[in-house]
């Protein structure tokens, strides 16, 4: 996406830094990059490996005027941060990038070997020698993407997709297996999953809405919600705290699951919670409205006691 | 496990459900012995995490009880509670906890008999789940 570079350079006239992606020399994929000068911006890329949600950097840059390249899903996170007051709308300049869907780099590496160039600049998956159906290595959130176009943006780059949004993806793989489990099987499932957790907090650090950072409840000594011991029940409780604190706030960007080094399917919890919140409150995070647990008006409460 | 004592943690509002439970006790109504009551100032105090923590620490069931809607001592605590607790209750199957193990309900200070009935029914439901699995 060549036209991105001049747009970033132009944005730098009015912002302190632009968050985007540059090619990683090590792995042949894009990694997040901070562009402070027009010269640095020459390295900007946008391809199918730009999966990172750069909105995660916004709250810590709240004292600066920040430009940010955002896909549709990233824009939802930005909108949510603004709705919650963690980021000022006037403090961000959103460069909305039309997104072709991002690939799961780990899956691509499994197919093609580590470090190969796994995609081309146009966003098409182009592998040397081998071909694999694009759908097979897309990130889960990109299958049946509901928001290919950014909900907020100041300037757009790339052709807006003319295709209608894909229908919701049928549960497959682990989602299908999880849905078929009994409650008791799920209890065992989570116990097994969280016995792998190393408590690195990558899930929290990668999450754009986990804005508390160093004052996180999970690590509080008093009252000690979750012990520091790395064992399954404590790690499980730690994750439940994170999930609970994201109720009505998670935009489903999947960054926690993508960041998890031991492959715990965290989105099973968050997708379920997002569905329940939508069902109960008709609310989907990532718009202009404040989250349901941040707002309550006793005079206009429409709760049905018999629900 | 047949015959096993069912451990239930009850979070009870000081202003109504706690007094209701007290009344049931004073009236010598028969109640299961496995209920551990934690008195809270208001059902609005009950963070869903308290419920999850109780389960993580080994509770077989968790019961939250506060004032009837409209009767909150502080005006709106129970309205806030039910939003959170309803969400929590619907999340439980995904977390691997049978929804029968959690219940939130409203009991006033004068409803001793109702309280006894709620505890009995809830305990029986948990026993059924334990035996079924």
Could you read off the pLDDT of A129-164 as tens digits, one per residue?
A: 566 777 778 898 888 888 888 999 999 998 776 666
CB A157 within 8 A of CB A95: yes
Please state, in angstroms and as integers, the Cα–Cα distance from residue A147 to each residue in A72, A76, A166, A171, A172, following that order: 5, 9, 10, 19, 21
Closest CA to A197 of A242, A245, A237, A230: A230
Chain B (1-40) residues lying within 8 Å, Cβ to Cβ, of chain A: none
- CA-based torsion, B94, B98, B102, B105: positive or negative: positive
Q: What is residue A118's predicted lDDT score, i.e. its pLDDT? A: 62
Mean pLDDT of B93-113: 96
Domain residue spans in chain B? 8-132
- B42 Cβ under 8 Å from any chain A Cβ: no
Mean pLDDT, chain B, whole residue set: 93
* Cβ-based neighbour number of residue B114 at 10 Å: 17
Chain B CB contacts of A292 below 8 Å:
83
CB contact under 8 A, A184 and B133: yes
Q: Which residue among B75, B82, B97 places its CB closest to the CB of A183?
A: B97
Closest CA to A164 of A181, A146, A177: A146
Q: Which residues of A274-283 are buried (b: 16+ CB within 10 A; e: fewer)?
A: bebbeebbeb
Mean pLDDT of B66-74: 94
Q: What is residue A265's predicted lDDT score, i.e. its pLDDT? A: 96
Which residues does A296 contact at the CB level (< 8 Å), separation at least 6?
Answer: B76, B79, B80, B83
Chain A CB contacts of B86 below 8 Å:
280, 307
Phi, psi of B99 (to 5 degrees): -60, -20
What is the distance between the terminal CA atoms of chain A, rounded to a whole angstrom?
A: 50
Q: Which two tokens stand for residue A170?
A: 């049928």
H helices, E strands: number in chain A: 11, 6
Q: What ipTM does the predicted assembly reach?
A: 0.92
> What DSSP line would sit under A83-138, residue for residue?
HHTSS-GGGEEEEEEP----B-HHHHHHHH-TTS----TTS----SS----HHHHB
- A192 Cβ under 8 Å from any chain B Cβ: no
- B8-132: in CATH 3.40.50.960: yes
Q: Which residue among B52, B96, B98 places its CB closest to the CB of A190?
A: B96
Mean pLDDT of B78-104: 96
Domain residue spans in chain A? 4-157, 173-299
Q: Which residue among B56, B87, B91 places its CB closest to the CB of A237?
A: B56
Which of B48, B87, B88, B126 to substitute to test the interface with A, most A CBs within 10 Å? B87
Give the span between the Cα atoms of B100 and A170, in whole angstroms.
29
CB contact under 8 A, B76 and A237: no
Question: Which DSSP letter does residue B117 get?
Answer: H
Residue pLDDT tens, chain A, 307 long: 689 999 999 999 999 999 999 988 776 789 999 999 999 999 999 988 899 999 999 999 999 999 999 999 999 999 999 999 999 999 999 999 988 788 888 888 777 776 666 655 444 455 555 667 777 788 988 888 888 889 999 999 987 766 666 677 778 889 999 999 999 999 999 999 999 999 999 999 999 999 997 889 998 888 889 988 888 999 999 999 999 999 999 999 999 999 999 999 999 999 999 999 999 999 999 999 999 998 888 877 777 776 6
Phi, psi of B20 (to 5 degrees): -65, -45
CB contact under 8 A, A184 and B75: no
- B101 Cβ under 8 Å from any chain A Cβ: no
- A180 Cβ under 8 Å from any chain B Cβ: no
CB A221 within 8 A of CB A269: no
Nearest chain B residue to A281 by CA distance is B83
Q: What is residue A121's predicted lDDT score, i.e. its pLDDT? A: 43
Which of A174, A178, A183, A246 to substitute to test the interface with B, most B CBs within 10 Å? A183
């Amino acid at each position: 996406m060549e036209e991105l570079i001049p747009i970033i350079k132009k944005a730098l006239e009015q912002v302190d830094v632009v968050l985007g992606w540059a090619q990683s020399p090590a792995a042949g994929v894009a990694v997040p990059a901070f562009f402070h000068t027009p010269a640095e911006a020459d390295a900007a890329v946008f391809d199918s490996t730009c999966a990172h949600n750069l909105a995660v950097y916004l709250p810590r840059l709240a004292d600066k005027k920040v430009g940010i390249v955002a896909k549709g899903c990233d824009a939802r996170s930005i909108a949510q941060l603004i709705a919650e007051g963690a980021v000022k709308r006037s403090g961000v300049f959103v460069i909305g990038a039309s997104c072709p869907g991002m690939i799961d780099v780990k899956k691509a590496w499994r197919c093609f070997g580590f470090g190969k160039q796994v995609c081309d600049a146009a966003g098409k998956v182009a592998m040397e020698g081998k071909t694999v159906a694009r759908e097979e290595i897309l990130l889960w959130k990109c299958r049946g993407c509901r928001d290919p176009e950014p909900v907020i943006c100041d300037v757009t780059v790339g052709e807006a997709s003319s295709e209608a949004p894909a229908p919701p993806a049928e549960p497959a793989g682990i989602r299908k297996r999880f849905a078929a489990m009994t409650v008791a099987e799920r209890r065992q499932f989570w116990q097994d999953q969280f016995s792998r957790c190393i408590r690195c907090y990558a899930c929290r650090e990668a999450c754009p809405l986990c804005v508390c950072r160093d004052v996180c409840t999970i690590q509080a000594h008093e009252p000690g919600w979750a012990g520091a011991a790395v064992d399954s029940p404590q790690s499980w409780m730690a994750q439940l705290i994170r999930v609970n604190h994201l109720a009505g706030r998670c935009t489903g960007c999947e960054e926690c699951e993508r960041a998890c080094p031991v492959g715990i399917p965290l989105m099973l919890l968050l997708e379920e919670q997002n569905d329940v919140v939508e069902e109960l409150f008709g609310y989907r995070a990532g718009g202009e409205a404040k989250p349901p647990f941040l707002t309550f008006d006793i005079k206009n409460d429409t709760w049905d006691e018999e629900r | 496990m047949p015959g096993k004592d069912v451990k239930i943690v009850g979070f009870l509002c000081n202003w109504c459900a706690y007094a209701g439970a007290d009344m049931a006790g004073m009236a010598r109504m028969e109640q299961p012995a496995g209920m551990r009551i934690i008195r809270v100032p208001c059902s609005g105090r009950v963070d869903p995490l308290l419920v999850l923590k109780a389960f993580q620490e080994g509770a077989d069931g968790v019961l939250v009880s506060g004032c009837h809607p409209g009767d909150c001592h502080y005006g709106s605590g129970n309205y806030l509670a039910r939003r959170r607790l309803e969400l929590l209750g619907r999340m439980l199957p995904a977390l691997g906890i049978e929804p029968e193990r959690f219940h939130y309900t409203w009991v006033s200070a004068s409803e001793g008999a109702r309280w006894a009935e709620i505890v009995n029914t809830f305990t029986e439901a948990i026993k059924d789940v334990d035996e079924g699995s």
